Amino acid sequence: MDLSLVGILILGVLILESAGLAYGNLVFPVHHKFKGLQKSLSALKAHDIQRRGRILSAVDLNLGGNGHPSETGLYFATIGIGSPSKNYYVQVDTGSDILWVNCVECTNCPKKSDIGIELTLYDPKSSKTSELVTCDQDFCTSTYDGNVTPGCKAQYPCRYKVVYGDGSSTAGYFVKDYLKFDRVSGNLQTAPTNGSVIFGCGAKQTGGFGKSSQALDGILGFGQANSSMISQLAISGKVKKIFSHCLDNVNGGGIFSIGEVVQPRVNTTALVPNQAHYNVIMKAIEVDGDVLELPTDIFESGDGKGTIIDSGTTLAYFPDLVYEPLMTKILGQQPGLKLQTVQDQFTCFQYTGNVDDGFSTVKFHFEDSLSLMVYPHDYLFQIREDVWCVGWQKSGMQSKGGSAMTILGDLVLSNKLVLYDLDNQVIGWTEYNCICTFDPRNWRVNKGSSNIKVKDEKSGTVYTVGAHNISSASSVLIGRMLTFFLLLIGILNNVSY
């Protein structure tokens, strides 16, 4: 072979290596029935357990990831932190109350991510605007219910530690720095802006946070507490305490915005007051028009009880007294299925037909006449062309204290616009096309992608906010590499030996 051709081949390999394609994205291949399920579904369960531990401008967060259990299994956004600003990939999670990122002194932090992103460690010393939050400052005392940290002295850092249900934990200290985000400035247009936010500098991670399977730079908590990013920005007058998301479970990504949604119209239900999470009152569950016969007190709210809406959880979890009749009703329509239980919790089976034709539609009823329709393609997930698993789980399997809790995660929230209005203490949703399509020819999101309209409070102007998919870069890059190798093949075919 001509040495010039060897050079072309080496160039192709170098391009692939520099693009990071050697690592690839997190996909769990199944070569035959149920092979490889144990590892992939175990990682998904570990992720869900971890998540259960714990007014001027509209804002547009670039979203990536997906809610498919056999792929990424989570949604994440990019934010800028520090001066000069550096980008960080953080999971968006409505089930927790602080923003934290891995720091340079972190022990057991992942070095790479199987999701296909480049991880970045935050260094307070490299940012000109970074400030240490001390244990005697108001933020620290209010975060710990007004109690000063034992042994606190001037200039001692305000420390944090969060331990999750499976024993995984994150620990470190709070710092204050500039957070850079995109302010909506026009239709499908944004302009950079910033605000000072206090967040956790992760110094020690244990359990799942030290693994690369679903590794990100941190977690962006969108909870109701004053320590959350949205609460801090609202207190400083940067945004209204309203946000929404529209998660695309087909292509990945979607919409995540802060601000009042003008279009589409969203019906809401009241949040249960004085709860740590987004608790709502469920009234009944309907399967193909038949209301399940359940104990009258099964959905009562209280400690360890009630219904939670949580974007940081992938699956849906129900008390045993709900799970059993729900599964019996759904699977009863296909009595010939050969069910396979994986890890004593995942019900899987072979099915070659259209699941929307062969299985039941489930409708959840809430207070204030709000309902949530969940189709078979929402609660069933495919791990091979002819193998499906059920996304319903027993909440008793999730944590020791959660046996009476119902948790609705991404699997049932995807492809719906979900609105969280903390100013009015309501939450709601509507069926919506959240799809984000990407054009590899110009590296841009197509105009046909989903969008919503939000109101800029300062000017009163209504702007269009579109869908994003920051995870598309890898697929676009693969497309460009494929083009390169097609050209390479053409060159080789026209060379005489």
Whether 26 has a pLDDT exceeding 60, the answer reads no
Lowest mean pLDDT among 97-106, 303-312, 418-427: 303-312
Long-range contacts of 332-338 (CB under 8 A, 24+ apart): 333/358, 333/359, 333/360, 334/358, 334/359
Contact by Cβ (8 Å): 315, 48: yes
Round the average pLDDT of the chain to a whole number and report it: 79
Lowest mean pLDDT among 320-334, 355-369, 402-416: 402-416
Query: What digits encode the pLDDT tens for the residues 200-229?
Result: 999 998 877 777 667 889 999 999 999 999
Catalytic residues: 93, 310
> Residue 18: pLDDT band by 50, 70, 90 thresholds?
very low
Q: What is the pLDDT of residue 306?
A: 92
Query: What digits encode the pLDDT tens for the residues 38-71?
Result: 555 666 555 555 444 434 678 888 877 776 666 6
Tallying the residues shown for the chain, one arrives at: 497
| Region for residue 423 given its phi and psi (left: phi exceeds 0; alpha: psi -120 to 50; beta: otherwise) | alpha
Lowest mean pLDDT among 20-24, 139-143, 242-246, 442-446: 20-24
Residue 43 tokens, joined: 């990682």
Statement: the pTM of the whole predicted model exceeds 0.85 = no
Residue 445 tokens, joined: 């999101």
- 472-493 vs 3-18: helix axis angle to the nearest 10? 180
Q: What is the pLDDT of residue 112?
A: 86
Whether 146 has a pLDDT exceeding 60, the answer reads no
DSSP bridge partners of 445: 438
Lowest mean pLDDT among 66-75, 231-240, 268-277: 66-75
Whether 375 has a pLDDT exceeding 70, the answer reads yes
Q: Which of 122-126, 207-211, 402-406 has the highest mean pLDDT?
A: 122-126
Q: Which tops the pLDDT comparison, 346 or 263?
A: 263
Query: What digits encode the pLDDT tens for the residues 295-326?
Result: 989 998 877 789 999 987 888 999 999 999 99
Residue 2 tokens, joined: 């001509």
Q: What is the pLDDT of residue 497?
A: 32
Residue 326 CB neighbours (<10 A): 21
Taking CA 60 as the corner, what is the angle to CA 57 and CA 61, rounded to the nearest 5 degrees? 135
> Position of tokens 């409070």?
457
Contact by Cβ (8 Å): 63, 468: yes
Contact by Cβ (8 Å): 75, 470: no
Whether 252 has a pLDDT exceeding 90, the answer reads no
> Residue 147: pLDDT band by 50, 70, 90 thresholds?
low
Residue 192 CB neighbours (<10 A): 11
Query: What digits encode the pLDDT tens for the residues 169-193?
Result: 889 999 999 999 899 999 999 899 8
